[in-house]
Structure 1
């Protein structure tokens, strides 16, 4: 049982993040929804870059596109770009403190949202609103707790 849990822990955390990403919230709170999937993928990319990389981000993005009903490939491209930037610099980012990493996560989240906006703007000609960037702040604030939670799970399950 322990061995199977250990092998599927990454998939399980990504599935939980997908559920949190699509969970219905009141409209006043929904604009502040953090980027759960990006946060989880960012943690696993920094912790285990040989197991979670751009390919996992692309597949997870496709799942998000299907779940959210957006044009196929929008979230997958945005997640892939963000995870690529993170994977290219993961050795440097590991050495930063959790609070410095939170700023990096904020920058990655803003890159993710800007790529999403650009792609949606090309497809549907939507106007830019600064409300699109509220999840950047909530993702930054959520990062330390998600980092500590996922690190504790990784160490207890001995995921390598």
Structure 2
């Protein structure tokens, strides 16, 4: 119960939901458009609470994503850490942007993450290039305003600081 008072429980629940949404079955035609849930949840928390959520958190969650997705261990961890680094470095500027400007930032950062994952996969496993691999960056940016408002409401309701 003390965890929820300090907000750790809320953070862990949102991380767990993001990981579940990453592997939740979807129809084949929609799977290419699946948002990068873990990336956008991490971006929100890094922008909202940079003193509590940082590159180390991104690295650990990236390792969990590697295990869940069955990819080479460390690929998503490294990409998440790099993506979160840029968000954490400029969190004060990003906070002051409007939601539409934040959507553009999210699009760029998720594109960066996905490009890093692709490049490492291509180098290690000779993965073929497919344009649809970058579609989740677009859907992540589209979902960002609703996710932002929902997580902000949760943060304020549970007093996460």
1:86-137 per-residue CA deviation (whole Å, 9 max, x = no partner) reads 1011111111001100110000010011001000000111121111111011
Displacement of 1:8 after TM fit? 1.1
TM-score calculated relative to the size of structure 1: 0.97
1:66-93 per-residue CA deviation (whole Å, 9 max, x = no partner) reads 0111000000011011000110111111
**Does residue 75 of structure 1 match 2:72?**
no
Displacement of 1:44 after TM fit? 0.3
* CA distance in structure 2 between the aligned counterparts of 1:4 and 1:90, rounded to whole angstroms: 25
* CA distance in structure 1 between the aligned counterparts of 2:157 and 2:127, rounded to whole angstroms: 45
Gaps of 5+ in 1: none
TM-score calculated relative to the size of structure 2: 0.96
Gaps of 5+ in 2: none
Count, aligned residues: 159
* CA distance in structure 1 between the aligned counterparts of 2:23 and 2:31, rounded to whole angstroms: 10
For 2:3, the equivalent position in structure 1 comes to 4
* CA distance in structure 2 between the aligned counterparts of 1:15 and 1:141, rounded to whole angstroms: 21
Displacement of 1:43 after TM fit? 0.3
* CA distance in structure 2 between the aligned counterparts of 1:7 and 1:45, rounded to whole angstroms: 14
* CA distance in structure 2 between the aligned counterparts of 1:131 and 1:7, rounded to whole angstroms: 35
* CA distance in structure 1 between the aligned counterparts of 2:137 and 2:157, rounded to whole angstroms: 30
Alignment root-mean-square deviation, CA: 0.9
